[in-house]
Amino acid sequence: MKKTTAAITAVGGYVPEYRLTNKELESMVDTNDEWIKTRTGIEERRILKGEGLGSSDMAVPAVLELCEKRGISPLEIDCLICATVTPDLVFPATANIICDKVGAANAFSFDVGAACSGFLFALTSGAALIESGRYKKIVIVGVDKMSSIIDYSDRSTCIIFGDGAGAVLLEANDEGNGLLDSILKSDGNGRQYLHMKAGGSVLPSTVETVLAKQHYVYQEGKAVFKFAVTGMADVSFDLMQRNNLTADDIAWLVPHQANLRIIDATASRMGLPKEKVMINIQKYGNTTAGTIPLCLWEWQNQLKKGDNIILSAFGGGFTWGATLVKWAYDSK
Ligand SMILES: CC(C)(COP(=O)(O)OP(=O)(O)OC[C@H]1O[C@@H](n2cnc3c(N)ncnc32)[C@H](O)[C@@H]1OP(=O)(O)O)[C@@H](O)C(=O)NCCC(=O)NCCS
């Protein structure tokens, strides 16, 4: 019997209007456009402005867009998985809130917390639910409002992160297209280099934690860079080898957009020319769980049925991984 695979059948995305440029950051912290561009590749990032708006408010238009594209009602969604480190609330899950807002009344839903690898972890989990044969339509959301946990007086982090959301629909495929393989990894020892100190059960929020600025991203950039550069490149290369793929067989690399130098190192390890690498870090910075689906959203019209695509990420945890997708449809 032919194995059922889970294929991406529609993509949606959303980025907020407001552009925080390198120039504007120059007026906020001691930095400059040239440094940011050469060290990270970032020129601007989007910021969600507005009282009372959270991650779900970016995810909603992304999910509605993919429903419209696929011609389905949100009522047909069986399950929605949201990858995020900036949930609307500590609980309930942002996935529950998104379902409520889009009217996905028949879906069960939950969040996945795997930082910048969250979308890949959620995608692989959703694919397994499709492969089980028990569910037909699963939406995977990657969203982060990083501006809600960034200290805009810390030049080492505020230049990197931005806000945005992407979402894909997974459905069963019997043509052998879709998610074919994944290598996913985590190492909790890496938490020392990238985390948020307060607001969890170890250090609940108090006046003191706020005054000590412990509700912001803490990052040891150099250490994270070192692990990311080898982790993302190794896992992407291993996935190629394991599936007997050469650089010629791969149509696209969709890398997590954390730093252009990490992306270049991964592409170079895989032997891929720049033309095959999706890069939009200059426009959006690092949107954490949003980067990979936002790339798919931007490039969707160039993707062809049968294209071999490798999605690759590294992030807090540490978490990292790569997923091989054979694209399932030609866009109209
Ligand atoms: C954060 C990051 C961009 C910093 O780049 P870097 O090349 O490692 O820079 P360093 O931290 O070594 O700093 C180099 C110098 O630039 C300075 N600097 C740091 N940030 C600066 C900024 N925004 N503007 C200007 N100068 C800056 C430092 O103070 C340091 O100066 P010094 O040499 O006089 O001490 C880089 O380490 C990185 O991208 N790390 C990975 C981040 C990541 O992927 N995070 C998400 C996980 S998915």
Known catalytic residue: 244?
A: no
Single out the residue of 120, 162, 146 nearest to residue 313, CA to CA. 120
CA-CA distance, 216 to 111, in Å (whole number)?
A: 21
Please tell me the pTM assigned to this model.
Answer: 0.97
Residue from 79, 82, 116, 158 carrying the catalytic annotation: 116
CA-CA distance, 242 to 215, in Å (whole number)?
A: 41
In this structure, the residues whose C-beta lies within 6 A of any atom of ligand 1 are 31, 35, 39-40, 116, 155-156, 159, 221-222, 224-225, 228, 258-259, 286, 314-315
Contact 172, 130 (CB under 8 A): yes
* Angle subtended at Cα 290 by Cα 63 and Cα 222, rounded to the nearest 5 degrees: 170
pLDDT digits (tens, 9 = 90+) for 162-199: 999 999 999 999 999 999 999 999 999 999 999 999 99
Which of 26, 39, 314 to probe ligand 1 with, by most ligand atoms within 8 A of CB? 39
Please give the number of the atom of ligand 1 that sits closest to the Cα of 286. 46
Ramachandran region, residue 199 (left: φ > 0; alpha: ψ -120 to 50; beta: rest): left
- By DSSP bridging, strand 252-255 and strand 217-219 are unpaired
pLDDT digits (tens, 9 = 90+) for 96-140: 999 999 999 999 999 999 999 999 999 999 999 999 999 999 999
pLDDT truncated to tens, each residue of the chain (332 aa)?
678 999 999 999 999 999 999 999 999 999 999 999 999 999 999 999 999 999 999 999 999 999 999 999 999 999 999 999 999 999 999 999 999 999 999 999 999 999 999 999 999 999 999 999 999 999 999 999 999 999 999 999 999 999 999 999 999 999 999 999 999 999 999 999 999 999 999 999 999 999 999 999 999 999 999 999 999 999 999 999 999 999 999 999 999 999 999 999 999 999 999 999 999 999 999 999 999 999 999 999 999 999 999 999 999 999 999 999 999 999 86
266: helix, strand or coil: helix
Known catalytic residue: 195?
A: no
